[in-house]
Amino acid sequence: MMQEFVSSMKKAMQAMIDEIHTAVPATISSYDAATNMATVQPEAKYKKPNAETIDYPVVSGVPVVFPQSETVAIAFPVKAGDKCLLVFSETALDYWQYGQETDTDLKFDLSNAIAIPNLMPSGNEAMQSACDEDAAIIKAGDTVLKVKSDAVYITGKLHVTGNITCDSDVTASGVSLKSQQ
């Protein structure tokens, strides 16, 4: 009798735990840069109580996280097919998103997700180079900006709108601007 009670309690607790969503890899289905919202397909299977597995539903209205502050931002294109990590909030995001109180008790629910873009299953050339050279690297097509402790290196074309100020010499193709004066 006690063993049946304990077994029933374990099953009930496991069923409750199975409804808690924390984080899951996903794929961006669409992204609206104007609203910073994505529609995302979780890349996981949901196991129903009868042991059948089904795909998680598509989640819409998902805010996308970029490294930024009030004055500085790093932004990059987010496209359909990009991988991301969906993180599920402990509370409803309604007040934060829309400035409205919510009466929902949903915790860790699929509707309370944020997406962190570019979760990759493996590294790439830029990541390898950043680690090998102890550098911050920004790569867009064939253009590479590499920030190292000794200098900033640019491979590709450089277009500047505005002034360039240099407190030292500028050398281009072996020709010094200082020695030209």
Candidates 72, 84, 41; CA nearest to 59 is 41
- CB-based contacts of 21: which residues, under 8 Å, 6+ apart? 88, 108, 109, 110, 113
Q: Is the pTM of this model over 0.85?
A: no
Residue 83's SS3 state is strand
Residue 4's SS3 state is helix
**Which whole-number Å values give the CA distances from 172 to 37, 98, 152, 159, 178, in the listed order?**
44, 53, 15, 15, 11
Q: What's the pLDDT at 170? A: 87
Beta bridge partners of 124: none
Q: What's the pLDDT at 70? A: 87
Residue type, 117: P
Q: What's the pLDDT at 9? A: 81
Q: What's the pLDDT at 117? A: 92
| Mean pLDDT, contiguous 10-residue spans, the chain (181 residues) | 82 74 91 95 85 90 91 90 91 73 70 87 86 91 93 93 90 82 55
Q: What's the pLDDT at 177? A: 84
Give the count of beta carbons closer than 10 Å to the beta carbon of residue 116.
14
Q: What is the DSSP string of 132-149?
A: HHT-EEEEETTEEEEE-S
Question: How many angstroms separate the CA atoms of 44 and 41, rounded?
Answer: 9
Residue type, 35: T
Q: What's the pLDDT at 92? A: 76
The residue whose two tokens read 């009868």 is 50
Side by side, which strands form the sheet with 59-63? 59-63, 37-42, 23-32, 83-88, 113-117
